[in-house]
Chain A
Amino acid sequence: MEFRELPQEILIEIFSRLPLKSVGKCRCLAKLWRKLLSTPHFIKSHLTHQTHQENLILNTPFDTIYSRSTIKGNTIWKTFPGLDLCEWTAILGSCGGLVLMVLESFERFLVNPGTLQLIKVPKPPLGLKRKESFSMHGFGYDSSGDDYKVVTLSYYNAGNEHRSDDTFVDVYSVKRGVWKRVDGSPYDHRVLQLSPGMSERKLSKLYMFRKTFSPGAFVNGAIHWLARSRKLVGSPSVIAAFNLADEVFDEIPAPSGVDVEMFVFNKVVVLGGCLCLVDTRENGPMDVWIMKETEGSLRDMVINEPRAATIDGCTFMESLISPESKTRTLVNKKRRKCRYVGESL
């Protein structure tokens, strides 16, 4: 059957509502369409129409990484070709459908779980020596410059001969393919110093947590990490927010009621588009503080899902709250009460 011909702009609008695979096929329609469906404008419009549930990246207990996609209810698992990802260590951030990962060799890759494409992120030229230092990472999108950015915070280990307490900040522009060093962070990001007076046993437990600790949470144009204030008396725990547009830090106070001694065991994540602080210590119900966009502090909430220890933080947080479910069950640990939170979470 012959249909009427639709103008190009209507077709672009329709194609921007297709799942990723269909867009890939439509790029093979003709030369013009290959070009039209690859513009940054189209990609952005496509991302805003997606519900971000088509492709997920997961690790299994064997530390292998897969891309998962669902076609007509059938789940397809695929490994990334051309790279031995058995040696990957952690997911360092995720934004706009892209995921930043680090391998055991400390090589960093940006991967697209939908297309299985990989981009290697080079080492920062001013990066500190690995043995003497510790680095935290973050990945996000700067809408003002239309650029994805990788951020590393690095500092010398305690007792270093450099005697420097500075936290160095390096920013990698994915668009331009270059690193630059920006002003250092005014916060203390040393995870081991975040909880004063911690016992040996706790410290060693903390060391295990450390590698999954470092990814910053990207939301509202900024990457968020746990930190301590250097300005205020008693160096209170805060969440430091690095704004990707102007590349400076701001802060969110820690929620009242959080155990300051154990602050370091919390994890900053993004849930349902909101910044959250999750207490990762216990099995069973755990504390979750959720920040609404309009508020400047975190609210106390508890989620009643068991912790899945073998699944990485990024994925396990996503699986806690299904994007499809209209209501979300949250439990207040102290009151042992269920409550339903709507889409506005």
Chain B
Amino acid sequence: MARKNRNPVGKNVDPEAQKKKTRTLTLKSSDGQEFSISESAAVLSIAIENMVEDDCAGGVIPLPLVDGGTLARVITYLNKHAEDGASDEEKRKFDEEFVSGMEMGVLFDVVLAANYLDIRGLLREVRRRIADRMKNKSVEWVRKTFHIESDFTPEEEEQMKKEFAWAWEGVDSDVDD
């Protein structure tokens, strides 16, 4: 069994890493779309790395929880981060642009995929972006967006507003997203 190598990118002397660059895997989305990706990029996902190591992959790795559109986005991210010679600054810029255009619904799809595939960097980036978008939004907006139902009575709700009065100023309108 291959030695566990959590960060194969950039280790130019490792023959195993060289092999990973040339080997390709096929990822299959929930809606049956197939994507080719180099092994070195794919194993940035800890979940895929484990599947490859346990050799349960066969020729095609099925990802029943990720749809084609989302998987295409995730693969773009993985390819950039596995790219030879991409500096940290370049990757940071890429991350910034990668998430900045996404609508809230897309961010949710990507955060679920990143969580399922265990891609730490992407997960961190998307969580931060979602948090940015929900700053200064009303409680009703947050409840609706995240499917949270209030179990407070109207009296309790009033009491909470008093208790957390410091939090109830400067709320934006809920129009965007």
Interface residues of A (CB under 8 A from B): 1, 3-7, 10-11, 13-15, 17-34, 71-72, 74, 76, 114-116
Contact of B148 among A7, A33, A72 (CB under 8 A): A33
- A27 & B127 in contact (Cβ 8 Å cutoff): no
| A-chain residues with CB within 8 Å of residue B147 when the two chains form the complex | 3, 5
Residue of A nearest to B138 (CB): A25
- B146 & A6 in contact (Cβ 8 Å cutoff): yes
**Nearest-CB distance from A112 to chain B (Å)?**
9
Contact of B149 among A1, A30, A114, A115 (CB under 8 A): A30
Among B108, B131, B138, the one with the most A-chain Cβ atoms within 10 Å of its Cβ is B131
- Among B54-62, B87-95, B163-171, the stretch that binds chain A is B163-171
- Given the known inter-chain contacts A17-B128, A27-B164, please indicate yes or no for A4 contacting B109, CB distance below 8 A: yes
- Given the known inter-chain contacts A3-B105, A17-B127, please indicate yes or no for A25 contacting B142, CB distance below 8 A: yes
Contact of A26 among B108, B136, B142 (CB under 8 A): B142
- Given the known inter-chain contacts A1-B105, A3-B105, A30-B151, please indicate yes or no for A25 contacting B170, CB distance below 8 A: no
**Nearest-CB distance from A66 to chain B (Å)?**
13
- A22 & B135 in contact (Cβ 8 Å cutoff): yes
| A-chain residues with CB within 8 Å of residue B167 when the two chains form the complex | 20-25, 27-28, 115
| B-chain residues with CB within 8 Å of residue A28 when the two chains form the complex | 139, 152, 157, 160-161, 164, 167
| B-chain residues with CB within 8 Å of residue A115 when the two chains form the complex | 166-167
Question: Contact flags (1/0) for B131-156 with A, using CB distance below 8 Å?
Answer: 10011111100110111111110000
Docked pose: A17 CA to B123 CA in angstroms: 13
- A6 & B108 in contact (Cβ 8 Å cutoff): yes
| B-chain residues with CB within 8 Å of residue A25 when the two chains form the complex | 138-139, 142, 164, 167-168, 171
Contact of A76 among B146, B149, B164, B169 (CB under 8 A): B169
- A21 & B170 in contact (Cβ 8 Å cutoff): yes
- Given the known inter-chain contacts A17-B128, A30-B152, please indicate yes or no for A6 contacting B166, CB distance below 8 A: no
Chain B contact residues: helix, strand, loop or mixed: helix
| B-chain residues with CB within 8 Å of residue A34 when the two chains form the complex | 160
- B134 & A4 in contact (Cβ 8 Å cutoff): no
Q: For chain B residues 78-97, which have a beta carbon within 8 Å of chain A?
A: none
* Other A-B pairs, 8, CB within 8 Å; known A1-B105, A29-B139, A29-B142: A3-B108, A22-B136, A24-B164, A26-B139, A30-B148, A72-B170, A115-B167, A116-B166
Residue of A nearest to B172 (CB): A72
Determine whether B104 belongs to the interface, using a CB cutoff of 8 Å to chain A. Answer: yes
- B112 & A4 in contact (Cβ 8 Å cutoff): yes
| B-chain residues with CB within 8 Å of residue A29 when the two chains form the complex | 139, 142-143, 148, 150
**Number of A-B contacts defined by CB within 8 Å:** 101
| B-chain residues with CB within 8 Å of residue A114 when the two chains form the complex | 166
Residue of B nearest to A26 (CB): B142
Give 8 nearest A-B pairs by CB, closest first: A24-B167, A17-B131, A71-B170, A28-B160, A24-B164, A5-B147, A21-B167, A25-B167
Determine whether B24 belongs to the interface, using a CB cutoff of 8 Å to chain A. Answer: no
- A4 & B148 in contact (Cβ 8 Å cutoff): no
Number of interface residues of B (CB under 8 A): 38
Determine whether B111 belongs to the interface, using a CB cutoff of 8 Å to chain A. Answer: yes
Determine whether B38 belongs to the interface, using a CB cutoff of 8 Å to chain A. Answer: no
- Given the known inter-chain contacts A28-B161, A29-B150, please indicate yes or no for A22 contacting B170, CB distance below 8 A: no
- B139 & A10 in contact (Cβ 8 Å cutoff): no
| B-chain residues with CB within 8 Å of residue A11 when the two chains form the complex | 146
Docked pose: A27 CA to B150 CA in angstroms: 11
Determine whether B26 belongs to the interface, using a CB cutoff of 8 Å to chain A. Answer: no
Docked pose: A329 CA to B161 CA in angstroms: 44
Docked pose: A10 CA to B151 CA in angstroms: 21
| B-chain residues with CB within 8 Å of residue A116 when the two chains form the complex | 166
- A21 & B127 in contact (Cβ 8 Å cutoff): no
Ordered by A's residue number, 29 sampled pairs between the chains whose C-beta atoms are within 8 Å are A3-B105, A5-B147, A6-B112, A10-B127, A11-B146, A14-B130, A17-B127, A18-B131, A18-B134, A20-B167, A21-B136, A22-B134, A23-B167, A24-B164, A24-B166, A24-B168, A25-B138, A25-B139, A26-B139, A27-B164, A27-B167, A28-B152, A28-B164, A29-B139, A29-B150, A30-B143, A74-B170, A76-B170, A114-B166
| A-chain residues with CB within 8 Å of residue B170 when the two chains form the complex | 21, 71-72, 74, 76
